[in-house]
């Protein structure tokens, strides 16, 4: 048996689960409170969250954060969840209160949007005990100010500029934990890791995309 061989066991009903790209395992990962995290699924779909082999969830969505959503995710997930708590439209004391409730509900960390003011990050740092993940969407972001305000992890989401942003941050801050979007394929994921990302966010197929071949199979049974 090979030294690095890992036996794999799966049940019949769980064999169709989603697997993150294996290239992600080339990343170093980020150890958060003893838990090594290399892959984070970008989703709030509890069915997908329950059927994917990602190490954690990054639950950021384009609406004002709601505690009922956080609670639903905490109840359904069997892996750590990093919850979005605003920072753009929803900000200030409301963001701090949402973050505190997220911690009480079991969140592994909180994620704030790129427009978040440093004063809000500082208020979060003074209030909660779980890691603060600050989203970076531009090379013009003052990273030093973010870190001084209390950012624990940087979440780079810069579209086609992501790899360049990651490299720029890594060159200046060799030890800062970086999560980054991996792009559309394994090649871009590997480039992102080589640029300095410690962990990768993975966007899974939608439920509709996953269900399409199943429905086609069911239709053919009736032909």
pLDDT at 146: 97
**For position 223, what pLDDT does the model report?**
60
The pLDDT of residue 21: 96
Res 222: pLDDT: 66
**Rounded Cα–Cα distance for residues 93 and 207 (Å):** 35
**What local confidence, expressed as pLDDT, does residue 88 receive?**
76
Task: Determine if the pTM surpasses 0.75.
Answer: yes
pLDDT of the chain along its 223 residues, tens only? 567 788 888 887 777 899 999 999 999 999 999 999 999 999 999 999 999 999 999 999 989 899 999 999 999 999 999 999 988 777 789 999 999 999 999 999 999 999 999 999 999 999 999 999 999 999 999 999 999 999 999 999 999 999 999 999 999 999 999 999 998 899 999 999 999 999 999 999 888 888 787 787 777 776 6
- Judge contact between 155 and 177, C-beta under 8 A: no
Task: Return the pLDDT at 2.
Answer: 66
pLDDT at position 94 is: 93
For the domain 22-221, what is the CATH superfamily, name and number? Phosphoenolpyruvate-binding domains (3.20.20.60)
What pLDDT was estimated at residue 220?
79
| Cβ neighbours, 10 Å, residue 203 | 13
Exposure of 129 by Cβ count < 10 A (0-12 exposed, 13-18 middle, 19+ buried)? exposed
How much is the pLDDT for 174?
A: 96
pLDDT score, position 1: 58
């Amino acid at each position: 048996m090979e030294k690095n061989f890992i036996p794999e066991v799966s049940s019949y009903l769980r064999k169709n689960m989603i697997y993150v790209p294996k290239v992600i395992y080339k990343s170093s990962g980020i150890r958060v409170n003893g838990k090594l995290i290399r892959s984070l699924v970008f989703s709030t779909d509890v069915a997908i969250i329950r059927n994917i082999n990602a190490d954690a969830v990054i639950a950021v969505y384009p609406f004002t954060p709601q505690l009922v959503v956080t609670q639903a995710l905490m109840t359904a997930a069997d892996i750590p969840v990093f919850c979005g708590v605003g920072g753009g439209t929803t900000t200030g004391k409301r963001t701090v209160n949402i973050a505190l409730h997220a911690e009480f509900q079991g969140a592994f960390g909180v994620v704030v949007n790129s427009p978040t003011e440093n004063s809000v990050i500082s208020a979060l740092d003074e209030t909660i005990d779980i890691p603060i993940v600050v989203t970076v969407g531009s090379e013009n972001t003052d990273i030093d100010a973010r870190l001084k305000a209390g950012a624990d992890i940087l979440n780079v989401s810069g579209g086609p500029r992501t790899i360049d942003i990651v490299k720029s941050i890594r060159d200046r801050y060799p030890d800062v934990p970086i999560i980054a979007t991996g792009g559309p394929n394994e090649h871009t994921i590997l480039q992102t890791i080589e640029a300095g990302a410690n962990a990768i966010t993975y966007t899974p197929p939608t439920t509709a995309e996953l269900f399409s071949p199943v429905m086609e199979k069911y239709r053919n049974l009736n032909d």
